């Protein structure tokens, strides 16, 4: 699995002192994500992502988190074409919030921006972050609301993953592929839900997961693994049965 935070290169807090005259010209290009074969996915995004992407789980212990697979080879993102356009349906919120992100210190969150983002300028192109009086613009307020919502959903997703771990529902998985040029390989480092274990969970946990929609998330994940074969055609010829 790819390192998932490489899209942020030089993050600094957003402030009226530093960014009073700064504008951000949004780009529809995703060159910054070209070498990511997976990105984190919020639980609230499962229903949207399942149409296009395999949903898996990565990390260990409390750091376990869902991710969408975008390529079966390290450094290969088949959702981004040679011109930087996104070509595979749903775009995860992790990428849509770029170049903004929250940093956390002692439980406090600060809105930050990646100052290497090419759309940042002082020429008035795009949307200003602050007005002439140094107050937040509506654009910045909207960004803050979006990133705040992301953080809230992040915590909900983390609790979902903790339940999966506590119930021992996750197991290591691999996806094998054979490329058009004859190369073969295997992507590992991720986990999937064991369907038999899911069906055998205690009744009390089953009722709670049903009430919180977590049971639905589990089956959306399982269903999404069918997309490995679609992803495999981008790489070459995959054997999706190895992914579940």
pLDDT band at 243 (very low <50, low <70, confident <90, very high): very low
Q: Which residue has the tokens 């009722």?
A: 207
Q: What is the mean pLDDT of residues 140-165?
A: 96
CA nearest to 65, candidates 172, 1, 161, 193: 161
| 34, β-bridge pairs | none
User: Residue 61 has what pLDDT?
Assistant: 85
pLDDT band at 237 (very low <50, low <70, confident <90, very high): very low
Residue 205 has pLDDT above 90, yes or no: yes
Higher pLDDT, 235 or 55: 55
Contact 33, 71 (CB under 8 A): no
C-alpha span between 152 and 157 (Å, rounded): 9
Please list, residue by residue across 85-117, b when 16 or more beta carbons sit within 10 angstroms of its beta carbon and e when fewer do: ebebebbbbbbebbbbbbeeeeeeeebbbbeeb
User: Residue 179 has what pLDDT?
Assistant: 65
DSSP 100-148: EEEEEETTEEEEEEETT-TTEESS--SEESB-TTSPBPHHHHHHHHHHH
Higher pLDDT, 129 or 184: 129
Residue 239 has pLDDT above 80, yes or no: no
Q: What is the mean pLDDT of residues 131-136?
A: 94
Q: What is the mean pLDDT of residues 91-107?
A: 90
Predicted TM-score (pTM) of this structure: 0.87
Average pLDDT, the chain: 89
pLDDT band at 6 (very low <50, low <70, confident <90, very high): low
Q: What is the mean pLDDT of residues 42-62?
A: 95
Structure tokens at 33: 């994500």
CB atoms under 10 Å from CB of 176, counted, come to: 18
Q: What is the mean pLDDT of residues 105-122?
A: 90
CA nearest to 129, candidates 5, 29, 30, 12: 12
Higher pLDDT, 86 or 4: 86
Residue 206 has pLDDT above 60, yes or no: yes
Higher pLDDT, 244 or 138: 138
Residues sharing a CB contact under 8 Å with residue 129, sequence separation 6 or more, in sequence order? 14, 19, 20, 22, 23, 24, 136, 137, 139, 140
Q: What is the mean pLDDT of residues 150-162?
A: 95
């Amino acid at each position: 699995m790819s390192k998932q935070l490489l899209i942020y290169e030089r993050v600094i807090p957003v402030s009226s002192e530093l960014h009073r005259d700064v504008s951000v010209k949004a780009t529809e290009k995703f060159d910054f994500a070209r070498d990511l074969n997976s990105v984190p996915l919020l639980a609230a995004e499962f229903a949207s992502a399942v149409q296009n992407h395999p949903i898996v789980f990565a990390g260990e212990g409390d750091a376990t988190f869902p991710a969408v697979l975008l390529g079966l080879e390290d450094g290969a993102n088949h959702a981004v074409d040679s011109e930087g356009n996104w070509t595979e349906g749903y775009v995860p919120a992790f990428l849509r919030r770029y170049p903004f992100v929250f940093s956390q210190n002692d439980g406090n969150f600060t809105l930050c921006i990646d100052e290497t983002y090419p759309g940042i300028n002082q020429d008035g192109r795009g949307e200003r972050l602050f007005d002439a009086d140094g107050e937040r613009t509506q654009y910045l307020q909207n960004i803050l609301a979006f990133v705040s919502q992301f953080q809230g959903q992040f915590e909900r997703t983390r609790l979902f993953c903790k339940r999966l771990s506590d119930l021992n529902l996750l197991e290591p998985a691999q996806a094998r592929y054979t490329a058009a040029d004859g190369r073969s390989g295997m992507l590992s480092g991720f986990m999937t839900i064991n369907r038999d274990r899911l069906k055998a969970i205690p009744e009390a946990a089953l009722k709670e997961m049903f009430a919180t929609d977590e049971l639905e998330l589990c089956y959306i994940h399982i269903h999404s693994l069918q997309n490995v074969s679609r992803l495999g055609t981008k790489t070459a010829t995959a054997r999706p049965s190895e992914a579940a």
